[in-house]
Homo-oligomer: A and B are copies of this chain.
Amino acid sequence: MSGKLYGVGLGPGDPELMTLKAHRLIRGASVVAYPAPDTGASFARSIAADAIAPGAVEIPIVIPMRAARFPAQAVYDTAAQTIGAHLEAGRDVVVLCEGDPFFYGSFMYLYDRLAGRAPVEVVPGVTSLTTCAAVAGRPLCARNEVLTVLPGPLEDAELAERLATPGAFAIMKVGRHLPRLRRVLEGMDLAGTATYLSHASLPNQIVLPLAEAPEDAPYFSMILIPGRDPYAAS
């Protein structure tokens, strides 16, 4: 009798943006796993901290900083072994996931390794995408508008090609790419309506017109570009 693996979305950072289901599962979990940096606190754990049961077994999945964007698969091999042992012993395991597990999330690496061996349930969470729109006070997309989500590391040519199409855009994982992204957007006359955000929903949240964004943006930052006509019924 295998335990069940839960990939649980925690939302964007404010613990109150966790779902009731995530909260229930975390409170009841005897084993929780979460991504963690090699130095400092785990962001995922910090969101869920108040819900984790005092006696719970904790499995930090330590991702070396330099591999943060293209993680060493060996880390997930080891984590899957540790988690797999709990599952085989009949214990459920709750994996804490920033945002939503399947929206640019690292949970997929565990999912790939464990989905064939144990029952798995993925619990969706509030994404940074819609949180940024809420915090900026601007609808993300309307009616029959196309929404395109662009990772910041994309090359200029692909970015420009995508941004030339109609619709609304969100550029994620902005980080060190900010000065380059701003140049691309300025060159396409899209910078004027763009909003820069970081740490949306957290006490240190920043919301600024793109022109006023810091040169040195954190990894968890985003640029939102509204559609030219948000009410357009294309």
Which of B134, B137, B146 makes the CB contact (< 8 A) with A162?
B146
- Contact pattern, A 114-147, Cβ under 8 Å of B = 1, otherwise 0: 0100001011111101110111011111111111
Within 8 Å of chain B (Cβ to Cβ): is A11?
A: yes
Do A143 and B151 touch across chains, with their CB atoms under 8 A apart? Answer: yes
5 smallest beta-carbon distances between A and B, as pairs? A122-B134, A16-B21, A147-B149, A102-B133, A100-B130
Do B102 and A140 touch across chains, with their CB atoms under 8 A apart? Answer: yes
Q: 24 A-B contacts, Cβ less than 8 Å apart?
A: A9-B126, A14-B21, A16-B19, A16-B21, A16-B24, A17-B19, A18-B20, A100-B126, A102-B139, A103-B133, A104-B141, A108-B142, A122-B133, A122-B135, A124-B126, A124-B127, A124-B134, A125-B126, A125-B130, A127-B130, A144-B154, A146-B148, A146-B150, A147-B149
Within 8 Å of chain B (Cβ to Cβ): is A1?
A: no
- Residues on B with beta carbons closer than 8 Å to the beta carbon of A196: none
Within 8 Å of chain B (Cβ to Cβ): is A204?
A: no
- Residues on B with beta carbons closer than 8 Å to the beta carbon of A158: 234
How distant is A197 from chain B, measured CB to nearest CB, in Å?
12
Which of B19, B120, B162, B201 makes the CB contact (< 8 A) with A126?
B19
Within 8 Å of chain B (Cβ to Cβ): is A41?
A: no
- Residues on B with beta carbons closer than 8 Å to the beta carbon of A100: 126, 130, 133-134, 140
Interface residues of A (CB under 8 A from B): 7, 9, 11-12, 14-21, 23-24, 69-70, 100-105, 108, 111, 115, 120, 122-127, 129-131, 133-135, 137-151, 153-154, 158, 162, 165, 173, 201, 230, 233-234
Do A137 and B154 touch across chains, with their CB atoms under 8 A apart? Answer: no
How distant is A52 from chain B, measured CB to nearest CB, in Å?
15
- Residues on B with beta carbons closer than 8 Å to the beta carbon of A131: 124
Which of B24, B104, B124, B134 makes the CB contact (< 8 A) with A102?
B134
- Residues on B with beta carbons closer than 8 Å to the beta carbon of A24: 16
How distant is A211 from chain B, measured CB to nearest CB, in Å?
23
CA distance A122 to B134 in the complex (A): 5
